[in-house]
Amino acid sequence: MDGGGKQAVSAAGKGVGEAAPAVTLEDLRKRMADFAKERDWDQFHSPRNLLLAMVGEVGELSEIFQWKGEVPRGLPGWEARETEHLGEELADVLLYLVRLSDMCGVDLGKAALRKIGLNAIKHPIGKRHDTSSKKFARRSGDDDVVGGAGRDDKDGVAREGDKL
């Protein structure tokens, strides 16, 4: 979902390299709704279709990193065109996510803030997160770890209704 490509850049009133004002999720939601309506695309924007399109964009995003190995923060050594391409693919994913949440009636900002709050409860400051002990617990069948309880001992696969 390119949002109009170069036309979107000029429609935003900013050219390449110019600073743009801060954008909110609501700004993006409105722009995407208008963009789809102007092109009569609402008929195609079912939640399922948007999700599948977003998954395709995540695949394109993954391709950028596929053969690079571990990439350090800040992307040192990347060429400007690579970083620009990364930004385009990240934007595609974001725009589909914003559109999907709109079509599902989910306030994405509120949902994200709620999730951060839930994660803060689940992972309080100062709680040790030792991944090696989690791996051991998974193998030993600890009920408090995902993949512990409910696994079929023969193949290690979780079954429907298993505690996660």
**Residue 2 CB burial class (10 angstroms; 0-12, 13-18, ≥19):** exposed
Contact 162, 149 (CB under 8 A): yes
Mean pLDDT value of segment 128-149: 54
Please give the pLDDT value at position 128: 76
**Domains delineated in the chain:** 25-67+79-122 (1.10.287.1080)
The more confidently predicted of residues 132 and 122 is 122
Lowest mean pLDDT among 5-9, 26-30, 52-56: 5-9
Is the entire prediction scored with pTM above 0.85? Answer: no
Chain segment 62-112, per-residue pLDDT in tens: 999 999 999 999 999 999 999 999 999 999 999 999 999 999 999 999 999
Please give the pLDDT value at position 120: 96
Checking if the pLDDT of 144 tops 90, the result is no
Contact 144, 137 (CB under 8 A): yes
Checking if the pLDDT of 119 tops 50, the result is yes
Structure tokens at 18: 């110019």
Please give the pLDDT value at position 10: 41
Phi-psi region of 141 (alpha: psi -120 to 50; beta: other; left: phi over 0): left
Please give the pLDDT value at position 4: 47
pLDDT band at 133 (very low <50, low <70, confident <90, very high): low
Widest pairwise Cα distance in the chain: 61
Chain segment 50-65, per-residue pLDDT in tens: 999 999 999 999 999 9
Please give the pLDDT value at position 152: 46
Q: What is the mean pLDDT of the chain?
A: 81
- 12-15 LR contacts (CB < 8 Å, sep 24+): none
Contacts with 35 (C-beta within 8 Å, 6 or more apart), sequence order: 3, 4, 41
Please give the pLDDT value at position 132: 60
Facing residues of 158 across strands?
Answer: 151
Contacts with 164 (C-beta within 8 Å, 6 or more apart), sequence order: 146, 150, 158
